Structure 1
Amino acid sequence: MAGKIVNNYGSLPVVFVSGNGATLTDDKGKRYIDFVAGIGVNCLGHGHPALVRAVQTQAAKALHVSNYYNSDKGLAFADALLEASGMERVYFGNSGAEANEAAIKLARKYGWLATEAVKKARGAAGVPARNEVVTLENSFHGRTLAALAATGQDTFHPPCFAPYPAGFRAIPANDFAALEAAFDETTCALMLECVQGEGGVNLLDARWAQAAAAAARKAGALVIADEVQTGIGRTGYLFASEELGIEPDVITASKGIAGGIPMGACLFRGAARDAFAAGDHQSTFAGNPLAAAAGLAVFAELSKPGFLAHVKAAGERIRSEIAGWRLDMIRDIRGKGLMLGIDFSVDSGANKGVDAAAIQRKCLDAGLCISTAGTHTLRFLPPLVITDAEIDAGLKTLKTVLQSVQ
């Protein structure tokens, strides 16, 4: 395997050939419980009949027609997303990073229009540009340069990729004092993850998130909810911002949005609704009929009665089971729905410096796929359709591995 594909991902030594539900099979016939779901992408698991039918049917009709034109599936999926989310416009892309780039450009365009309006009203120059995006420490917004600049973690800012785009500033989450000077007439947007995924599955306090959104709007800025990982049912809500109560002006989504077909979306409304004009932001493959057909199939499943309730119940099953193990090496288990993290960080004792990546590798050897979020946190992002039997099988393997480490 070595040398065939540039190993930017630090890929583990396994080759998967098929999957069914929350189970994967490798090229040697070994089966694994999947608690990764393609990093939250395979929300309907592997081989879901409705998704397979939708992709096969659309592939026989048209894969791509160019955004010079509209497609029936693209229009239908836009209507479904906007109606369910309460947003007014959508831009389709191919990934979460692209969705966030679109949101950043949208915010900058909104800020520019606001600045030009002030200049026109005052009849004077010297009005400061409204182009700064405030983000959060420990955030992650993608791997493109602007998305990296928005990311509030130094580890994602190696000097080899410098200089990074200017105009981003990170503040600590859940810190009310930090809001006092966070926003001014140069701020065009507040951009936040409703649950910080790569940062360690960190939760936002709803009262703080609402206060931050209110402070941003008071300063004339947009509120952007990065729901690339939390959206499309992952936390037990269509979008996690619903539970936080922040009513964002812009929402970005990707990962599970098309169940495995590359797709992203930037949804917006209100003050942001008419900021984009023809030519402002485009993409060749974005929102093609195949991706839109897959998105419609995913959305139809998520909209079924009881689906989101199952996500919440499955997440609670995982949390309560792990809490019941009472292992000293586990400091915390946190998250929402089926976006959970086990934190092994400790200050002293025999378990100091527990390496999540080492546990991840041991789990893989034992037949469990699980991901990490930082050095000391295991992350759970299983398919949203995972069954109780699959959860129990995966947790049995995890418990055995953790006991062997401890």
Structure 2
Amino acid sequence: MSGKIANNLGSLPVVFESGNGSVLTDINGKTYIDFVSGIGVNCLGHNHPALTKAIAEQAKKIIHVSNYYNSDKGLAFSEKLLERTGMDRVYFCNSGAEANENAIKIARKCGSLSDKKDGKAEGTRHTIVALVKSFHGRTVTTLSATGQDIFHNPVFAPYTPGFRYIPANDYDALKDAFDGTVCALLLECVQGEGGVNMIDRDWALAACAAARKAGAVVIADEVQTGIGRTGTFLASEALGINPEIISLAKGIAGGVPMGATLFRGVAAESIVAGDLQTTFGGNPLACAAGLVVLDELAKPGFLSAVTEKGDYIRSKIASWNLPCIKNIRGRGLMMGFDIDRPSRDIQKICLDMAGDGKPGLCISTAGANTLRFLPPLVITEKEIDTGLEILYTVLNQ
């Protein structure tokens, strides 16, 4: 089967048509254990009964009204999400990049409002401090915020100015990072695309303290780490950083495209009509799906099980004692490790294991030699063991 989809990362040679739980099925009837979940999107797996029921029922009522108006599902979802996160306001959008764009806009507005002379905003407090090895999206501005040169392709230049980068977990870098031009610190609580890099809690607290001392707000990019992925509803909870702005997407609606930017304190108070707008954001279909996600994650033991499953996977891989594997890391069901061969090759070989009644394995990469796992949060131990058995076989070939 061929198509006319624009080339992106070079799609792998498989075409999926259905899924159930953490198992995908392609058009030839081959099955695959899913350790990717749509890059952390399908948090409740595939064909989740409560999720599919809610989507089907909402589709029969109303799918879209635009944010000129409110919907019953939009109001219900906003109230429940804010209650769960302790934030003051939420703005719904369509993707993680858009959620981060909104965060950047409002952070710069906060900086302008705090930098007034004779009652007028000076506009000099607009710099955003981001981290080396970060990733915040693929729009021109979110690429600018991304602290990886590999993403700064000169053919897309000029990039949005006003960003500087400091290494994570480097205390010396904090000494001169925050001056009178800085309006925000932007960080991922675990760096996903940058290689599943862990952020030290004490350093994160010190960085946030330095930012706030300089009059800046803190933005937590929780596009990949949020919605239970790391074993707490938000990864920023584990770091204890209490951001003024949070961006969410990926798993927020269980597979229906959706993003959200959450605000509290001065960031929430700064927003007026016209600052943010989007056509599809907060449509009732996505909000109906999001309500199911919140309800499922709130069930007793759900998030602790995410932590337990992640610990189990990492300990199992460590127990293999394979010389080709090093630096196993992660939190909850967001994890990665380095290998001594191209990660893209291993990704394809794991797919090719499907056939003769045996499943293949879907895995992700986060760098030339880093494998990344983002399985559905509902993955079973049996599915985990089957997937790891495939990986073990491939790495021993």
Deviations along 1:257-316, one digit per CA (max 9) or x if unpaired, are: 000000000001011111111111100000100000000011100000000011001101
Q: CA deviation at 1:184?
A: 1.2
Is the Cα contact below 8 Å between 2:92 and 2:261 reproduced in 1? Answer: yes
SS at match of 2:396: helix
State the match for 1:348 in structure 2. Answer: none
State the match for 1:146 in structure 2. Answer: 141
State the match for 2:172 in structure 1. Answer: 177
1:378 aligns with 2:378: no
SS at match of 1:224: strand
1:30 aligns with 2:25: no
Report the residue type matching 2:34 in the other structure. D
State the match for 1:400 in structure 2. Answer: 393
Is the Cα contact below 8 Å between 2:67 and 2:279 reproduced in 1? Answer: yes
Report the residue type matching 2:225 in the other structure. T
Equivalents in 2 of 1:4, 1:148: separation in Å? 26
Is the Cα contact below 8 Å between 1:373 and 1:379 reproduced in 2? Answer: yes
Equivalents in 1 of 2:149, 2:330: separation in Å? 23
1:112 aligns with 2:107: no
Is the Cα contact below 8 Å between 2:112 and 2:123 reproduced in 1? Answer: no
State the match for 1:69 in structure 2. Answer: 69
1:10 aligns with 2:3: no
Q: Which of the residues 351, 362, 367 maps onto 2:349?
A: 362
Equivalents in 2 of 1:175, 1:120: separation in Å? 38
1:256 aligns with 2:254: no
Q: What are the equivalent positions in structure 2 for 1:260-279 lying under 5 Å apart? A: 260-279=255-274
Equivalents in 2 of 1:100, 1:136: separation in Å? 14
Equivalents in 1 of 2:313, 2:123: separation in Å? 50
- Alignment RMSD, CA only? 1.1
SS at match of 1:292: helix
Equivalents in 2 of 1:276, 1:158: separation in Å? 33
Q: Which runs of 5+ in 1 are unaligned?
A: 345-350
Equivalents in 2 of 1:115, 1:316: separation in Å? 46
Is the Cα contact below 8 Å between 1:36 and 1:382 reproduced in 2? Answer: yes
Q: What are the equivalent positions in structure 2 for 1:128-143 lying under 5 Å apart? A: 129-143=124-138
Q: CA deviation at 1:178?
A: 0.2
The alignment covers a number of residue pairs equal to 391
Q: CA deviation at 1:7?
A: 1.4
Equivalents in 2 of 1:207, 1:289: separation in Å? 40
Is the Cα contact below 8 Å between 1:22 and 1:390 reproduced in 2? Answer: yes
State the match for 2:384 in structure 1. Answer: 391
1:313 aligns with 2:308: yes
Is the Cα contact below 8 Å between 1:93 and 1:283 reproduced in 2? Answer: yes
Is the Cα contact below 8 Å between 1:128 and 1:186 reproduced in 2? Answer: no
Is the Cα contact below 8 Å between 1:128 and 1:185 reproduced in 2? Answer: no
Is the Cα contact below 8 Å between 2:130 and 2:166 reproduced in 1? Answer: yes
Q: CA deviation at 1:139?
A: 0.1
Deviations along 1:93-124, one digit per CA (max 9) or x if unpaired, are: 100000000000010111111112xx136x9x
SS at match of 2:315: helix
Structure 2 length-normalised TM: 0.97
% same residue: 66
Q: Which of the residues 227, 231, 234 maps onto 2:226?
A: 231
Report the residue type matching 1:91 in the other structure. Y
Report the residue type matching 1:184 in the other structure. D
SS at match of 2:98: helix
Is the Cα contact below 8 Å between 1:40 and 1:381 reproduced in 2? Answer: yes
List 4+ stretches of structure 1 deviating above 2 A: none
State the match for 2:356 in structure 1. Answer: none
Report the residue type matching 1:267 in the other structure. L
Q: CA deviation at 1:3?
A: 5.1
SS at match of 2:336: strand
Structure 1 length-normalised TM: 0.95
Q: Which of the residues 207, 210, 232 maps onto 1:215?
A: 210
State the match for 2:357 in structure 1. Answer: none
Equivalents in 2 of 1:2, 1:384: separation in Å? 32
Q: Which runs of 5+ in 2 are unaligned?
A: 354-359
Q: CA deviation at 1:128?
A: 6.7
Report the residue type matching 2:347 in the other structure. Q
State the match for 2:238 in structure 1. Answer: 243
State the match for 2:181 in structure 1. Answer: 186
Is the Cα contact below 8 Å between 1:74 and 1:289 reproduced in 2? Answer: yes
Report the residue type matching 2:165 in the other structure. A
Q: CA deviation at 1:2?
A: 4.6
Equivalents in 2 of 1:362, 1:128: separation in Å? 52
SS at match of 1:129: coil
SS at match of 2:317: helix
SS at match of 2:328: strand
Q: CA deviation at 1:388?
A: 0.3
